[in-house]
Amino acid sequence: MTAIARRAAAPPPASTGIVASLLRSRRLVQRNLLVYKRGWMVIFSGFFEPLFYLLGIGYGLGTLVGGVELADGRTVSYAAFVAPALLATASMNGAIAESIFNVFFKLNFSRTYDAILATPLGIREIAIGEMLWSLFRGTLYVFAFVLVMIGMGLVISPMLFFVIPVSILIGAAFSAAGLATTAYLRTVQDFDLPMGVVVMPMFLFSGTFFPISVYPQVIQLFMELTPLFHAVGLLRGLAVGIFGLHELWDLAYMVVFASIALWIALNRLEQRLIK
Amino acid sequence: MPPGEEILVHARDLTKRFSGFTAVDRVNFDVRTGEAFGFLGPNGAGKTSTMKMIACSSPVTDGDLSVIGMDPRTQAAQIKARLGVVPQTDNLDAELTVLENLLMYARYFDIPMSVARPRAADLLAFMQLSERAKDQVEPLSGGMKRRLTIARALINEPELLILDEPTTGLDPQARHLLWERLYRLKQRGATLIITTHYMDEAEQLCDRLVVMDKAKIVAEGSPRELIERYSTREVLELRVPEAVRAGLMERLDGLAERIEELPDRYLLYAADGEQALEQVHAREIPTESALVRRATLEDVFLRLTGRSLVE
């Protein structure tokens, strides 16, 4: 065995720049890949949820609803109206599944991060690494779902290709928000608040299944503050071929939201892990 | 390389404060290359906090600390690249197998797979875990998990290995195997920092140690030196019938350098325990049992940190 105290030449100093840090973050992705190598069915299952919603609500309920009129006056099928929203939700749910549930487990029960922090990796690398992983996972869902949308004729615009990068941005934003939330959660019961009071209502009411114009003005304004509203608006615009000021504002909102969430996540995780 | 040539860890007025209390209060120590350096102390004495500061996992509140010539405040990643850390509670990756735990850990250190694979195999053999390489971590016994944690800490060939209570909670067989492995590491010239509240562990493994109590270092030296300084060579342990206890301290007076009265027995600290016992008999003090033993670090420890329970 190679003796530990042999005074070998010192290893090259770990560089501290942003690029080096990003490179080191990929170790977390590698770790998760190794774990999921044995449990890939779990990943697979995440694809079916939006698909079932699309079939059940988009097509099933859609037969009762008929067409939906868009901002530019065109009418599209209800399924085409709902599909991009389900894509946005799928990005959100995929990101949250990783950054809330799995990260919570590693943070509180398995102490995986404590072990990793004894290596040259720091909080920043761990947070970014977990985000990269949840993006990787989310991107798989996005690809699969976009293929389904194409197959069902629900993409009616050449802007389709922007759907993929934008979905990844949405995933990043919710992943960061999930991390920030997780860093505050103490017990399993604490999940109920963000999941039941924030995620679920957002899923139902932020323009996913029907335009928010059905609400009174005050509630509309309130819903416009939620990130999923903007994610849905943006993807729906791209899927039906509308990209105007409104969508630009949605995009800006997502970028700012992602940055703030990441900043909170990094700071809060540091407080949790470094004592 | 003989010990003492180079100072690997240097602490001056090192302090750790949490909101409201001071865990480590202006301690000074130097750990030299190739030595096994122990931190002894009751629970809450500040050992783990000191350890965490050295391991760069807890920021220094005040004072100077240098680890392998670097400053943990600004060069944590560089220091951590050259340390091995065995924490108090195992934090193995339960979602990975035994071998994967080592290989993945090597990846965190940017060690190429071509290097990591043979090294992991060597370490598993050294820690007697080769047969369990493909097993999940969870079903392993406490001793195996501990050995795997130590193997993991050695994956980057660290210049300094930090062990926080390495054998707490292990059965005697597992402890002895671990001690033997740590002793072998030491013989190969490894620098070890060990915290423990097992005195036999400290006597077995440590060249030099400090005793911490209430956030401060209260004594420093080799196990032998500490025993000489704070205890006598031998201890006579006396058990007497309940009826004799009243006024016994006066009757024992002068028989030893120091006499300690405990609820169940009397401890007479004397250079020659047998001689003290003869005198006890000469004074016609009835005894239920008498035991002469060599003084241990435990006697030093209890003298320095007191017998009251620390909760």
The verdict on B274 and B179 lying in the same domain is no
Inside any domain, residue B206 = yes
Q: Is B220 helix (H, G, I), strand (E, B) or coil?
A: strand
Residue B48, token pair as written in the block: 């783990």
Q: Is the pLDDT of residue B207 over 90?
A: yes
Q: Is the pLDDT of residue B3 over 50?
A: no
pLDDT digits (tens, 9 = 90+) for B245-268: 888 888 888 888 889 888 888 999
Inside any domain, residue B90 = yes
Give every CB contact of residue B14 below 8 A, 6+ residues apart in sequence.
Answer: B24, B26, B27, B28, B50, B53, B60, B62, B63, B64, B65
The mean per-residue pLDDT over the stretch B77-81 comes to: 92
- Tell me how far CA of residue B177 lies from CA of A198, A225, B96, B140, B170, in angstroms: 53, 61, 25, 16, 10
Q: pLDDT tier at B5 (50, 70, 90 boundaries)?
A: low
Neighbours of A20 (CB within 10 A): 15
- In the predicted model, residues of chain A with pLDDT beneath 50 are 1-13
Task: Report CB contact under 8 Å: B154, A119.
Answer: no
Inside any domain, residue B265 = yes
Domain boundary among B228, B263, B282: B228
pLDDT at site A5: 41
Q: Is the pLDDT of residue B112 over 50?
A: yes
Neighbours of B224 (CB within 10 A): 10
Q: Is B77 on the interface with A (CB under 8 A)?
A: yes
The mean per-residue pLDDT over the stretch B158-172 comes to: 89
CATH number at residue B64: 3.40.50.300
The mean per-residue pLDDT over the stretch B207-217 comes to: 92
> What is the least distance, in Å, from the CA of B217 to any CA of chain A?
22
What distance in Å separates the CA atoms of residue B92 and residue A110, rounded to the nearest whole number? 8
The residue of chain A nearest to residue B19, with distances taken between CA atoms, is: A275
Task: Report CB contact under 8 Å: A4, B58.
Answer: no
Q: Tell me the chain B residues in contact with residue A5 when contact means C-beta distances shorter than 8 Å.
A: 1, 33-34, 159, 185, 188-191
Q: Tell me the chain A residues in contact with residue B120 when contact means C-beta distances shorter than 8 Å.
A: none
> Buried (b) or exposed (e) across B59-89, using 16+ Cβ within 10 A?
ebeebebbbbebebeebbbbbbbbbbbbbbe
The residue of chain B nearest to residue A120, with distances taken between CA atoms, is: B77
DSSP-derived letter for residue A175 is H
The verdict on B77 and B188 lying in the same domain is yes
> What is the least distance, in Å, from the CA of A27 to any CA of chain B?
6
Residue the block writes with tokens 């060579």: B233
Domain boundary among B198, B228, B258: B228
Apex B253 CA angle, B252 and B254, nearest 5: 115
The verdict on B133 and B191 lying in the same domain is yes
Please give the ipTM for the structure prediction.
0.82
Q: Is the pLDDT of residue B20 over 50?
A: yes
pLDDT at site B309: 59
Residues spanned by the domain of B86: 7-228
Residues of chain B numbered 106-135 and touching chain A (CB < 8 Å): 107-110, 119, 122-123, 125-126
Q: pLDDT tier at B299 (50, 70, 90 boundaries)?
A: confident
pLDDT at site A3: 39
Inside any domain, residue B300 = no
The verdict on B193 and B284 lying in the same domain is no
The verdict on B136 and B39 lying in the same domain is yes
pLDDT at site B16: 95
CATH number at residue B238: 3.30.70.980
pLDDT at site B150: 93
Burial class (CB in 10 A: 0-12, 13-18, 19+), B20: exposed
Residue A274, token pair as written in the block: 């470094």
What distance in Å separates the CA atoms of residue B182 and residue B149, rounded to the nearest whole number? 13
Residue the block writes with tokens 């004074």: B283
The total number of structural domains that make up chain B? 2
pLDDT digits (tens, 9 = 90+) for B40-66: 988 888 999 999 999 998 999 999 999
Neighbours of A114 (CB within 10 A): 16
Residue A130, token pair as written in the block: 């977990």
What distance in Å separates the CA atoms of residue A5 and residue A121, rounded to the nearest whole number? 22
Where are chain A's structural domains? 40-273
What distance in Å separates the CA atoms of residue B103 and residue B111, rounded to the nearest whole number? 9
The verdict on B132 and B82 lying in the same domain is yes
Task: Report CB contact under 8 Å: B190, A122.
Answer: no
User: Which of the residues A1, A4, A30, A98 would you substitute to probe the B interface, choosing the one with the greatest number of B C-beta atoms within 10 Å?
Assistant: A4
The verdict on B148 and B184 lying in the same domain is yes
Task: Report CB contact under 8 Å: B154, A8.
Answer: no
SS3 content of chain B, % helix, strand, coil (to 5): 35, 30, 35
* Greater pLDDT, A68 or B25: B25
> What is the least distance, in Å, from the CA of B237 to any CA of chain A?
43
Residue the block writes with tokens 């002895």: B176
A115 → closest Cβ in B93, B122, B190: B93
Inside any domain, residue B1 = no
Q: Which residues pair with B270 in a beta bridge?
A: B234
pLDDT at site B310: 53
Q: Are A239 and A81 in contact (CB under 8 A)?
A: no
Q: DSSP secondary structure string, B152-190?
A: HHTTT--SEEEEESTTTT--HHHHHHHHHHHHHHHHTT-
Phi, psi of B29 (to 5 degrees): -165, 160
The verdict on B125 and B50 lying in the same domain is yes
Q: Are B230 and B296 in contact (CB under 8 A)?
A: no
Q: Is the pLDDT of residue B311 over 70?
A: no
Q: Is B207 on the interface with A (CB under 8 A)?
A: no
Element (H, E) at B21: strand B21-32
> Buried (b) or exposed (e) across A182-196, using 16+ Cβ within 10 A?
bbebeeeeebeebee
CB pairs under 8 A between A and B: 115
For residue B50, the Cα-to-chain-centroid distance in whole angstroms is 13
pLDDT at site A160: 77
The verdict on B117 and B262 lying in the same domain is no
pLDDT at site A9: 44
Domain boundary among B228, B244, B262: B228
HSE, side-chain direction, 13 A CA sphere, residue B271: 2
DSSP-derived letter for residue B136 is B
